[in-house]
Amino acid sequence: MLRKSLLLKLFDGFSIQRWNDKIRPVRLTEMDKNAHKMVIAYCLAKYEEMKRPNKVKWGKIIKGGVFELLRRVVISDIKSPIYRKIRVDHKREFKALNKWVFKKLDPCLPDEKLKNELRSYLLEEHSLDELSERILTASHIYASYWEFKIIKQTNPEGYQIREIDKLINNDIEAYLDLDGMKKIIAKTRVADFIDLFGQLRFQVRWSQTPRIPATSVLGHSMMVACLSYFLSRQVRACRKRVYNNFFGGLFHDLPEAVTRDIISPVKTATPDMPKIIENIERELAEKEILPLLETEWHNEIKYFTNDFESSRILKGKRIRKVTSEEINNRFNKDEFNPIDGEIIKASDHLAAFIEAYISKEAGIGTKSLEDGMQELKKKYENCKIAGINIDSIYADF
Do 261 and 203 touch, CB atoms closer than 8 A?
yes
**What's the domain range around 118?**
4-200
Do 385 and 267 share a structural domain? Answer: yes
Do 232 and 314 share a structural domain? Answer: yes
Task: Name the nearest CA neighbour of 386 among 224, 231, 227, 230.
Answer: 231
Do 84 and 54 share a structural domain? Answer: yes
Do 225 and 194 share a structural domain? Answer: no
Task: Please determine, for residue 266, whether its predicted confidence score (pLDDT) is greater than 70.
Answer: no
Task: Assess if residue 212 is contained within a domain.
Answer: no
Task: Assess if residue 206 is contained within a domain.
Answer: no
Do 188 and 52 share a structural domain? Answer: yes
Task: Please determine, for residue 207, whether its predicted confidence score (pLDDT) is greater than 80.
Answer: no
Task: Assess if residue 133 is contained within a domain.
Answer: yes
pLDDT of residue 282: 77
Domain boundary among 171, 200, 229: 200
Q: How confident is the model at residue 260 (pLDDT cuts 50, 70, 90)?
A: low
Do 286 and 166 share a structural domain? Answer: no
Number of domains in the chain: 2
Which CATH number characterizes residue 301's domain? 1.10.3210.10
Do 257 and 174 share a structural domain? Answer: no
pLDDT of residue 268: 57
CA distances 181 to 42, 61, 66, 193, Å, are 12, 16, 22, 13
Task: Please determine, for residue 295, whether its predicted confidence score (pLDDT) is greater than 70.
Answer: yes
Domain boundary among 160, 175, 200: 200
pLDDT of residue 272: 66
* Distance of alpha carbon 248 from alpha carbon 368, whole angstroms: 28
